[in-house]
Amino acid sequence: MSDFKAQLEKIQTEFIQEEHRTENEFNIFNALYRKDNERLHSRFISYLLSSDSRHGMGKKFLYAFKEILSEQDNGDILNKFDFSHCIVRPNEKEKEEHEKIDILISNDNQAIVIENKIFANPSYHYVDGKRHQIDTYCQKMKEGTKKEKGEQGEEGRKDVFAIYLALNKRNPKEEGIIHKPIIVIDYQEEITHWINKCIDITKESSIEEKDKYLLAEILEQYRSVIKSLTSNLPRVKKIKDILDIDENIKKVWEVKEIRNFMLNMGDFRHVKWLTINSFWLELSQQLRDKLQVEISKEINIKDITKVAHDKKGSTGINFRLDNGEEWYIVNDNKNGLSYGINKKDKKNDDWHYINKNINFTNFSNEDTFMLINAEKRKDTIEKIIDSVAKKSK
C-alpha cells in the first residue's frame, strides 16, 4: 500500500503546485468570469476567428485554426470549404449566437457548426425523435432560417460541417451524434496549440508595438486559463485508473489512512463529479437501450456540481414509458437512491428504494465510494434496470 500512497502524494503535490501558480496571477478572464464559463470561451474564440474583429490580424487567426483542424481525423473534409469569403458569428456586431449555435463559420453555400462543451453533457432535442444538439443545428443550417419579426431569413447551406469542441476528446458515437463525419477537438491539445500559434502570429505582426504587446498579453492570459482548466485532467485520470482496478479500490477502502488521504485530495472533488456524471449518463443510456424509454429530463450539470463540490442538493433523471407514464430516479440525503412514478399524490407503492446507502454528497460511504469503479457502477446500474423493469410492467 505504500506504493499507492506514494502515487497519491505525487498527484497531490502536482495539485498544490498548480494552485500556487495561479493564486497570485493577475488574469482578466478570471477576474470577470468563472474559468469554465462556456460563453466566455465561445465568445473569445469567435472573436479571434472573425476577420472583422479589431485585433488587427485579419484572417490570420482563422487560417491558423484551419491548419489545426486539417491535422485532425476527418480534417480533410474542410478542404472544400471557402474560408476566403466567410463570416464568423458571434462577432463584434452580432453579439448573440446565430440559431443558438456556439460558433458559426459560414459563407453563402457552406457552414461550419462548432458545438462547445466544457463540462456540460450534450443536450438532446426532441424534434422528430431524439437528436443531439449538433444534429439539430446542422439540420437548421441545411434547411435555412425563416423570416421572422421583419428580419431577413437565410437560405439553407449546401455543405454543412460539424466540429465538437470539448475539454477533453469525446467519442461522437458514444455522445449520440448522427451527423458524419465530425471533427473532434479539445482545449488541452488543439485549442492550446492554436493559441500558441496566435501568440506567435501576433509577435511577428507589423501592428503597432503597444497593440502587439496588449494582444499578446491577452492571448497569454487566455492560455493560462486553459492550462488551469485542463491541468487536473491527467491527475484525475491517474486517480481513476488506480480505482478502476477492482483489487485496488478494495484495498484503498480497507486502509483508513489511504482512504482518508484520497478523500481529502484537492482533485478528489473532480473524481466525485465524474463519477456522478458517469453514473447518470450510463444509467440513462441503459434505460434507453434495455427498456426503450424516453429520457424526459436529463441529468442537470449544475445539480452534479452542487452535490460534488458543495455536498448538498440532489441529482436525478425522469423517463417516460410507452404508456406515457412519467417515472423518476433520484439520489438525495434522505432516501439514498430511489425511483418511482412522478406524480403529486404518491402512495407507498408508487416509489421504491434502490439503495439507501448510496449518497453522492458523501463519498466516505462505502457503497458510494465503490461507484468510482466502472465495473462496480455497471453492476449497480444493471440491478436498477432489472428492478425498474419489474416494477414498471
Neighbours of 304 (CB within 10 A): 23
pLDDT of residue 175: 67
Residues β-bridged to residue 344: none
Q: Are 328 and 338 in contact (CB under 8 A)?
A: no
Distance CA 376, CA 381 (A): 9
pLDDT of residue 42: 97
Q: What angle do CA 46, 159, 149 make, to 5 degrees?
A: 65
Q: Which helix (H) or strand (E) holds 259?
A: helix 256-263
Q: Are 86 and 105 in contact (CB under 8 A)?
A: yes
User: Exposure string (b/e) for 254-279, b if CB count within 10 Å is 16 or more?
Assistant: eeeebbebbeebebbbbbbbbbbbeb
Q: What is the pTM of this model?
A: 0.83
Q: Are 319 and 332 in contact (CB under 8 A)?
A: no
Give residue 172's identity as a one-letter amino acid code. P
β strands within 306-350, DSSP E: 315-320, 326-332, 336-341
Q: What share of the chain is helix, strand, coil (3-state, %, to 5)?
A: 50, 15, 30
Q: Are 326 and 332 in contact (CB under 8 A)?
A: no
- Say how far residue 131 (Cα) sits from the centre of its chain: 17
First CA to last CA distance, the chain: 48
State mean pLDDT over 129-140.
Answer: 82
Distance CA 20, CA 25 (A): 9
pLDDT in tens, 155-205: 899 999 999 999 888 766 666 788 889 999 999 999 999 999 999 999 999
Enter the C-alpha cell of residue 287: 434505460
Least confident of 10-24, 114-128, 173-187: 114-128
Of 278, 359, 355, 267, nearest in space to 312 by CA: 359
Of 145, 164, 6, 135, nearest in space to 75 by CA: 164
Least confident of 22-31, 100-109, 318-327: 22-31
pLDDT bracket for residue 319 (50, 70, 90)? very high
